[in-house]
Amino acid sequence: MIYGLLFWEFFKIGLFALGGGLVTVPFLFNLAAKYPWFSAQELVDMIAVAESSPGPIGINMATYAGFKTSGVLGGLTATFGLIFPSVVIVIIIAKLLNRYRGSDSFMNVMYAVHPAVIAMILFAGIELGRIVLINPITIFMTIIFWGAIHFIKLHPVVYIILGGIIGIILKL
Amino acid sequence: MIPLLQAELVERKKWLNDSEIMDYYSIGQCTPGVIAVNVSTFTGYKLGGFWGAVAATSGIVSPSLIIITILAKVINLFFDNQYMMHAFTGIRIAVIALMADVVVSMWRKNITDWRQLMIFILVLGMMIFAAVSPIWIVIATGTLGLALKRGS
């Protein structure tokens, strides 16, 4: 039964998570509040793993979240749920390809959805930050990291590994 | 991921030509879901119909499924280790900083006029004070975008 629910929840995310990248985070944050599947803190760890692994982040997040919820089969179910709506939609569009030039109206949709997605990711980031940044040193480290990420654009995995090393050295 | 798809599908395998992959890419952006997955589904459909689409899509998600499942298992095994706990505290800090950076760069690219700024403020307020589900926010702002029309 858990698998049915897992499929349904990730199906909805697959249908409504427009914009790519970290856009699944606010949706998963919502799931963490709604079900006892994984905690908000575990969500932060999932982001770290998803960002450090090859493959699309959305898929990695779904696999990990599903795995946390109910093991290997859970990971499969969540990933299948996430891609199911887009596969169906893409196959339909591929059939009608010549008529589907109307990406103009989609641009109009995204004109308003993009600011909303940014607000949602910001909100999720603030809530997750409140769990992680618990003392002056963690807050200070975040600012240092942010500066480094902003000015020296390297692959996220570099910063995640660096975070791990610094965590061990400083015994955070 | 897109340069990789282009190198493999257009140049090496010659399954698609340049204009086809651009088409698939722009449509992949306009459909829900992960863009790389959408491009794969399209390519699979073009080459082998429905089952081609299923095969290509399974192919692109398989590495993620395998790698993440193994990583999740391994992390579970070592989670009680003291060094791992320190490491993960540091890793979480890096993740929060990465999220902050994503927000800043998305803001720069996508918030271009006062109407979008209003939408941003409104949605943030709704998240903070009303805990509205992200699904409803996407539906509501998507509808609003159709009504507003970009640049008018």
CA distance B8 to B87: 37
For the segment B93-124, what is each residue's pLDDT rounded down to a tens digit? Answer: 999 999 999 899 889 988 999 999 999 999 99
More confident residue, B2 or A14: A14
Subunit contact B92:A132, Cβ cutoff 8 A: yes
Of the residues A45, A118, A133, A151, the best mutation for testing chain B's interface (the one with the most B CB atoms within 10 Å of its CB) is: A118
Tell me, what's the ipTM?
0.86
Assess contact for A81 and A29: CB atoms under 8 A: no
Q: Tell me how far apart the 2 most distant CA atoms of chain A are, in Å.
A: 59
Structure tokens at B7: 């190198």
**What is the average per-residue pLDDT within B123-150?**
89
For the segment B45-60, what is each residue's pLDDT rounded down to a tens digit? Answer: 989 999 999 999 999 9
Assess contact for B113 and A108: CB atoms under 8 A: no
Give the pLDDT score at B21. 82
Give the pLDDT score at A108. 85
Please work out, in degrees rounded to the nearest 5, the angle formed at the alpha carbon of residue B60 by the alpha carbons of A156 and B5. Answer: 75
**Which residue blocks in chain A are alpha helix, DSSP H?**
2-16, 24-34, 40-52, 57-95, 103-132, 136-151, 156-169
Give Rg (Cα) of chain B.
21
pLDDT tens, N- to C-terminus, chain A (172 residues): 899 999 999 999 999 988 777 889 999 999 999 999 999 989 999 999 998 888 888 899 999 999 999 999 999 999 999 999 999 988 888 877 655 555 677 778 888 988 999 999 999 999 999 998 989 999 999 999 999 999 998 888 899 999 999 999 998 8
Residues B32-67 as b/e (b if ≥16 CB within 10 A, e otherwise) read: bbbbbbbbbbbbbbbeeeeeebbebbeebbeebbeb
Angle between helices A103-132 and B18-29 (to 10 degrees): 60
CA distance B27 to A94: 10
Subunit contact B42:A51, Cβ cutoff 8 A: no
CA distance B53 to B47: 8
- Residue in B closest to A57 by C-alpha: B34
For the segment B3-31, what is each residue's pLDDT rounded down to a tens digit? Answer: 778 888 888 888 888 878 877 877 777 77
Q: How far is B48 from chain A (nearest CA, A)?
A: 12
CA distance A143 to B128: 23
- Look-up of token digits 């599903």: A66
Give the pLDDT score at B26. 76
Other beta carbons within 10 Å of B82: 9
Give the pLDDT score at A79. 95
Subunit contact B90:A108, Cβ cutoff 8 A: no
B76 by DSSP, 3-state: which? helix
CA distance A23 to A51: 13
Subunit contact A68:B69, Cβ cutoff 8 A: no
Q: Which residues of B touch A25 (CB under 8 A)?
A: 99
- Residue in B closest to A140 by C-alpha: B93
Of B37, B60, B98, the CB nearest to A159: B98
Domains of chain B: which residue ranges? 1-78
Residue B81, judged by CB atoms within 10 A of its CB (0-12, 13-18, 19+), counts as: exposed
Q: How far is A1 from chain B (nearest CA, A)?
A: 21
Give the pLDDT score at B149. 73
CA distance B33 to A17: 7
Q: How far is B135 from chain A (nearest CA, A)?
A: 6
Q: Which residues of B touch A168 (CB under 8 A)?
A: 83, 86-87, 90
